[in-house]
Chain A
Amino acid sequence: MVKKMFGLLIPVLSVVLGLLAGAIIMLVSGYNPVDAYMALFFGIFGDSYFLGEAIRTVTPYILAGLAVAFAFRTGLFNIGVEGQLIVGWLAAVWVGITFELPMLIHLPLAILAGGLAGAVWAFIPGLLKAKFRVHEVIVSIMLNYTALHVTNYIISYVLTDKLDKTNNIFETATLRSPLLSGLTDGSRLHWGIIVAIICAIIMWFILEKTTTGFELKAVGFNQHASEYAGMNVNRNIMMSMVISGVFAGFAGAMEGLGTFGYASIKSGFTGIGFDGIAVALLGANTAIGVVLAAFLFGGLKAGALNIPVETPIPNEIVDIVIALIVFFVASSYFIRWILNRINKKGVK
């Protein structure tokens, strides 16, 4: 019970500390933090349009968070979610602009194509880790940049004739919904949030209710023990990366089929993959935690856009707050140490 409280206390405390530190930075820079946080709050809950945009932002965050969290549970650090997301985005759009099928087939096919592309991209570090013991972090960082340049090339030289974005996807492959958009005052809210929630449930089910999930977690806890128990460690490493890549690819598909409806040349990363690390970390790598953390970070990101509208404060303050929250969660040893100190004093 005490341990469970601790598990909840550290993320909450980190968020509070992050917001406080953000407030201090604003005070030092001569801004009013109350104004900023009011504008932020209004930017999320202020009206139905803001709320719709916030939920839309949350969608890829959930999936990216799930991707990072799933790999984490097997003891792998999938820092390559960003690259897997980009290839998933492109693959989903590719299917979306190429085929003409009834929606019932086209839309699932496009989403699955995104997941498959993400899986293939994640399989490479998984394979190299399993066969050559190469650290997955380095390989997936390298593959992030490879993905960025290769997709840019495909968009401008294969899918189009030197244009900077593809055609829009066919109506039969779109996740967009006039209904949702109408409900939220014309926001870009789409059905992706349902896909994301389903994926969260699938992740929970795989990890908690299946033998595969048990093996994956066992490998994460102790590779050697799992090997002596007769589990195939290499196969589990690859499997974990592939499933993680599917989630990441789905995240890209949500952007391609829902938010934008096309794929465009990128000068840099979307950042969603890296924020997924923050989401997974704050959510303690559990499905429900990831969903909650994604709502927090996605909400913050969406609400941030309202800060420069209502105040003179740059919206980057929210990026600073998110980075600080990651910092505090990562340094939880420090928070734990202080709490232990306080507890011990209380006992005496």
Chain B
Amino acid sequence: MDFYQVLQIIVPSMIGLAAPLIFTALGGVFSERSGVVNIGLEGLMVIGAFTGIVFNLTFADVFGAATPWVAVLVAMVAGTIFSLLHAVASITFRADQTVSGVAINLLAIGLTLFLVKKLYGKGQTDMVTENFDRVDIKFLSDIPFIGKIFFSNGYYISYIAIILAIIVWYVIFKTPFGLRIRAVGEHPMAADTMGVNVAKIRYAGVLLSGAFAGIGGAVHAMTVSNEFSHTTINGQGFMAIAAMIFGKWHPIGAMGAGLFFGLAQSLSIVGASLPFFKDIPAVYLLIAPYVLTVIALTGFIGRADAPKASGLPYIKGKR
């Protein structure tokens, strides 16, 4: 097997595994940029995965091949609604945002397993029948050399994740709404003085993070595991948080980090069968995203600073 063939295996697998991380990390960017820490991304992904799979199983006959796409949209709505809990607790009730996020995670896994057992009478769902198909993108996959690597044997939804990163970058850095999000995350009092409704913008940030994490969870469930159980989402939400930090709270950075973590995951899965990687114990690849994030935070790879007001509730009139 030559290197070109190896790339044709690794890269599509990398993009596929990275997509859920990118969606969720982009959600995290919205929330944290508006000043609300969202440790609950993991739980929101669980909700998304659960909703996506259950919808897919229930309505596969109705929607046919379009089922996964509709399921992703429904999961997005479910994630948004669930993230409302985090928004209410951390913005209106001024709860500790990390604690509220932990509660979201505990609640999500408890609630979804409760419902799975109620609906199916066992600890996991059946496998879904309507999956996202792997496709070769028209025209682009015909490009010599890179077409076979980057645009073949992938999911449409993965490419949407990458395009979405660019859209989110535009929204956050080029639109008034994005400016407001960044303002309430850096200096809410100044934003408030200028007439920006801090609570409203923060609600928008958290709800967007819920929507994106819902999509991320559903995409992960319908491309990787194809069923829902307590291990379907097993740290992907936290890895998305890592990607967001590693990408320095920047949408494009988060996408890059997501792709990189996707590569590490893909190597830890398919690496054992490839000539160049089989000598590396999988454990190094498994811990790479986490260790690299810690190193990035300490400033060895350029300093990563969180938005200034991130994690602090805004109380009007308090200096």
Chain A interface residues toward B at CB < 8 A = 25, 29, 77, 79, 124, 128, 132, 134-135, 137-139, 141-146, 149-150, 152-153, 157, 267-268, 274-275, 277-278, 281, 314, 316-320, 322-324, 326-327, 330-334
Q: Chain B: interface residue count, which band?
A: 35 or more
B89 and A326 contacting across the interface, CB-CB below 8 Å: no
Residue pair A150, B287 in contact (C-beta under 8 Å): yes
What is the bound-complex CA distance between A152 and B282, given in angstroms? 11
Does residue B231 face the partner (Cβ distance < 8 Å to A)?
A: yes
Chain B, range 280-305, C-beta contacts under 8 Å to A:
281, 283, 286-287, 290-291, 293-294, 297-299
Q: In the complex the two chains form, what is the Cα distance from A150 to B291 in whole Å?
A: 12
Interface segment among B100-108, B125-133, B168-176: the answer is B100-108
- Residue from B100, B115, B245, B298 in contact with A330 in the complex, judged by beta carbons closer than 8 Å: B100
6 nearest CB pairs, A to B? A319-B110, A323-B107, A323-B106, A314-B117, A142-B290, A330-B95
Q: Which residues of A contact B297 (CB under 8 A)?
A: 128, 132, 134-135, 138-139
**B residues near A268, Cβ cutoff 8 Å:** 230-231, 234-235
A316 touches which of B110, B241, B290 (Cβ 8 Å)? B110
- CB pair B114 A149 closer than 8 Å: no
A330 touches B290 (CB 8 A): no
Residue of B nearest to A335 (CB): B93
- The answer to whether B39 has its CB under 8 Å from any CB of chain A is yes
Alpha-carbon gap, A268 to B234, bound state (A): 7
Does the CB pair B93–A320 fall under 8 Å?
no
Q: Which residue of B lies closest to A149 (CB)?
A: B286
Judge whether A138 and B107 touch: CB under 8 Å. no
User: Which chain B positions have C-beta within 8 A of A25?
Assistant: 114
Interface of A (DSSP majority class): helix
* Interface, chain B (partner A; CB < 8 A): 37, 39, 85, 88-89, 92-96, 98-100, 102-107, 109-111, 113-115, 117-118, 230-231, 234-235, 238-239, 241-242, 245, 281, 283, 286-287, 290-291, 293-294, 297-299, 306
In the assembled complex, the Cα of A152 lies from the Cα of B96 at a distance in Å of 33
Q: Which residue of A lies closest to B109 (CB)?
A: A319
Q: CA A38 – CA B245 in complex, angstroms? A: 46
Give the residue of B93, B102, B238 whose beta carbon is less than 8 angstroms from that of A331: B93
Say whether, besides A268-B234, A323-B106, A145 and B294 are in contact (CB < 8 Å).
no
Q: Nearest-CB distance from B93 to chain A (Å)?
A: 4
CB distance B102 to A146 under 8 Å?
Answer: no
Q: Which residue of B lies closest to A139 (CB)?
A: B294
On whether the beta carbons of A320 and B99 are closer than 8 Å, the reply is: no
- Residues in B with CB closer than 8 Å to A331 are 88-89, 93, 95, 100
- Cα distance, A323 to B47, chains bound together (Å): 15
Q: How far is the CA of A83 from the CA of B152 in the complex (A)?
A: 39
With beta carbons under 8 angstroms apart, the residue of B92, B290, B306 that contacts A145 is B290
Contact A327 B238 (CB under 8 A): no
- Determine if B113 and A316 form an interchain contact, defined as CB atoms under 8 angstroms apart: yes
- A330 CA / B242 CA spacing, docked (Å): 25
Chain A residues with CB under 8 Å of B109's CB are: 319
Cβ–Cβ contact B298 & A146, under 8 A = no
- Distance in angstroms between the alpha carbons of A141 and B289 in the assembled complex: 12
B234 touches A330 (CB 8 A): no
Q: A145-B238, A268-B230 are in contact. Are A135 and B103 (CB under 8 A)?
A: no
- The residue that A149 contacts in the complex, of B94, B118, B287, with Cβ under 8 A, is B287
- A326 closest partner in B (C-beta): B103
